Amino acid sequence: MSDRTDKKTEKEECTEEEKNDKKKEETEVDWDIWTDPLEELSEIEDAFEADEKDKLHGKTLLDVGTDCVKPLYLALKFELGLIVGINEDFSLYTFASDIQRKSKLFTETKVHFYSCSLFDDEQLNKILREEKIEKFDFVLVSKTLHHLRTGKCIASKRGSEHRCRADEKCCVYQFKEQEVFDRLLRLGNMVIVAEAFYPPDKDEDKIRGRGGYFTTREWKRIFHHLLKKYKVEFFRPFRCSLDKKNFRKIITKLREVDIVCFHVETK
- Is residue 102 domain-shared with residue 198, that is, in the same domain? yes
pTM: 0.83
Q: Are residues 24 and 74 in the same domain?
A: no
Whether 116 and 6 share a structural domain:
no
**Mind listing the pLDDT tens digit of every residue in the chain (267 residues)?**
555 555 455 555 556 655 555 544 444 556 667 667 667 777 777 777 655 556 788 999 999 999 999 999 899 888 999 999 999 988 878 888 888 888 888 899 999 999 999 999 999 999 999 999 999 999 999 999 999 998 888 777 766 677 787 877 787 888 999 999 999 999 999 999 999 877 666 766 777 777 788 988 999 999 999 999 999 999 999 999 999 999 999 999 988 888 899 999 998
* Same-domain pairing of 117 and 218: yes
**Domain range for residue 4?**
1-29
Whether residue 18 is found in the same domain as residue 77: no
Please indicate, yes or no, whether residues 127 and 5 belong to a single structural domain of this protein: no
Q: Based on the fold, state whether residues 4 and 44 are members of the same structural domain.
A: no
Do residue 142 and residue 245 come from a single domain?
A: yes
Domain count for the chain, please give it. 2
Question: Is 217 in the same domain as 130?
Answer: yes
99 & 223 share domain: yes
**Can you tell me the distance from the alpha carbon of 260 to that of 226, in angstroms, rounded to the nearest whole number?**
14
Write the DSSP string, the chain: -HHHHHHHHHHHHHHHHHHHHHHHHHHS--THHHHHHHHHHHHHHHHHSSSSTTTTTT-EEEEET--SSHHHHHHHHH--SEEEEEES--TT-TTHHHHHHHGGGT-SSEEEEEE--TT-HHHHHHHHHHHT-SSEEEEEEES-GGG---S-B-GGGTTS-----TT-TT--BPP-HHHHHHHHHHHEEEEEEEEE--TTS--TT-BTTB--PPPHHHHHHHHHHHHHHEEEEEEESS-EE--HHHHHHHHHHGGG-SEEEEEEEE-
Residues 5 and 87 in one domain: no
Q: Note whether 8 and 115 are same-domain residues.
A: no
Which residue from 247, 240, 124 is spatially nearest to 188, judged by alpha carbons?
124
For residue 68, the domain's CATH number is: 3.40.50.150
